Amino acid sequence: MFSINFISLISYFVLGIIGWITYKIFIWPFYISPLRKFPGPPSESSLYGNLKTLMTEESGVPQLRWIKKYGNVIKYHGLFNNPILLIADTKLVQEITLNKAYDFIKPLNASGISLIGRGLIYAEGDDHKRQRKLSNPAFTYSNVKEMVPSFVRIGSTLKGLIEEKLNSGETNINLTPYISKATLDVIGLVGFNYEFNSLTSQNELAIAYDSIFNNPVTTLRIVLNLLSNYVPSVREIPLEANKRFKNACATIDRVSKRLVEERYNEAKNGELKGKDLLSLLININNKLPAEEKMTDDELKYQDTKQQAYQLAGLCIHLHNIHMNKTLREELVKAFPDKSKFNPTYDEINSLEYLNCIVKESLRLNAPASNIRRINLKDEVLGNYFIPKNTEISLSISTIHKLPEIWGPTADDFDPKRWLDPSLVNNISNLNYLPFYNGPRNCIGSKVALTEFKILLGILIRNFVFKPIEGFHIRKRAFPAPKPDPYLGLAVSIVES
């Protein structure tokens, strides 16, 4: 009798799970969810919704296609048919990013938090306000100016390595690892005065970052990243991808902790004079009352890791021949002797056409093409009711290509558009958002922009970049905008 009842109980339990899954995947999204009335593309799969299209097509292309077809506020389906709102309405963007910034939080990203902790990127509410207030003084004009020699030094190393390739007879060069390592070296120096030297040697921290950001993106990696948000225990499955991820996280955590301890010891001895961000933050932190201080865990994750993605997007346009020629003329005029390319902060930012190129590249290759948020309570935005816990995607890449904002050439790379007063007068931080907007915008945007300009200036002043015949570079969407399969260009030296 007991056996029969136990079997019946198990049967009811299994049927309950099947019923719940059926409801969540096949019934709730299409017949009950308040989002069912929003227009948008039909789901392609009960398992992955529309994610396959987003991951296989070029970055931003599906979102732009859907917005043009269905309107500026639409719905698509994520994992297990979870409905997601896609917004490209600038008035709603203003509400979410400015007026109600702390009512819309970031969705859980278990992999991201494991990797970089709850620093400014993942902190929420009062924790974010406190960290932001403490961090702002580290990014003053004078502090960013002091970082410029580090950018120049690493850019010169990058130049020398490319010259070595050319001198050995190689002209078609994969620039992705060079750009990635140069950016990592910059992050090490300006972030925490740490010499990665990844351009010229092996380093445990550089290897850890490389294993996360530059290893081939496989379907398994994507699945593990997504599933870990719902079932954290998937990271315990003894797979090579999991082992590599956990080892990298452990290395980053260990080295970051050591660096914080070293800086604190220097501060205690009155020897902490560095202008790197970690040193600046510790000096600021030490002057605050206990309730306002950052914890050691918060301090060790305050850096500029996302710059690696931003610079990769910028350099996609190195192959634009006309851009190279016009920019080179400006650079030659400003720096006649390319061997003495050593600009100050003010000099590099005074170059008009370089500024136009950087703005245009960030328009077409925003560091984050989509910003994800979840609302903490029911919201009414415009004419739209958005129920609590709705996943929202602010489509930055789509807003940056809307013809009603950017004109009929919105899809084209045209730096000169930034010299047109009729366009520039209509551009604001509501329709041009490469570094987001409001209290959650990228605090290191000035650092990133200055780095872009100096490294790009060194490259264009010294080399000619052209497309490789028959080789097509796509913009991959996942895990972040990046050249796919890699940034391969035909390179030659600019004669003095």
Question: Could you give the CA distance from residue 20 to residue 23 in angstroms, rounded to a whole number?
Answer: 5
Considering the domain boundaries, does residue 170 fall inside one? no
Question: How confident is the model at residue 369, as a pLDDT?
Answer: 85
Mean pLDDT score across all residues of the chain:
85
Q: What is the pLDDT of residues 10-40, one digit of tens each?
A: 777 777 788 877 878 888 888 889 999 999 9
The Cα-based distances of 360 to 34, 366, 417, 453, 478 in angstroms read: 38, 10, 8, 13, 22
C-alpha–C-alpha distance, residues 188 and 328, integer Å: 29
Q: Is residue 273 part of a domain?
A: no
Tell me, yes or no, whether 178 lies in a domain: no
pLDDT band at 394 (very low <50, low <70, confident <90, very high): very high
Nearest to 314 by CA among 170, 128, 450: 450
Let me know if residue 78 belongs to a domain: yes
Quote the pLDDT of residue 205: 79
**Residue 333: what residue type?**
K
Residue 372's domain comprises 33-117+368-433
The answer to whether residue 201 is domain-embedded is no
Query: How many Å apart are CA 144 and CA 165, to the nearest integer?
Result: 32
CB atoms within 10 A of CB 49: 24
Query: Does a structural domain hold residue 44?
Result: yes
The residue among 287, 255, 429, 451 whose CA lies nearest residue 354 is 451
Count of structural domains within the chain: 1
The set of residues, in sequence order, having a beta carbon less than 8 Å from that of 247 and lying 6+ positions away, is 208, 211
- Which token pair is 82? 């979870």
Per-residue pLDDT of 306-332, as tens digits, reads: 444 445 455 556 666 667 789 999 999
Which pLDDT value is given to residue 387? 94
Is 48 a domain residue? yes
Q: Is residue 317 domain-resident?
A: no
pLDDT band at residue 405 using 50, 70 and 90 as cut-offs: very high
User: CATH number of the domain that 399 lies in?
Assistant: 3.30.43.20
Q: What's the pLDDT tens digit per position in 411-463?
A: 999 999 999 999 889 999 889 999 999 999 988 889 889 998 999 999 999 99
Question: Sign of torsion, CA 295 301 303 304?
Answer: negative
* Position 70 pLDDT exceeds 60: yes
Residue 304 has pLDDT above 80, yes or no: no
Interatomic CA distance for residues 280 and 286, integer angstroms: 10
Q: State the first-to-last Cα distance of the chain, in angstroms, to the nearest integer.
A: 94
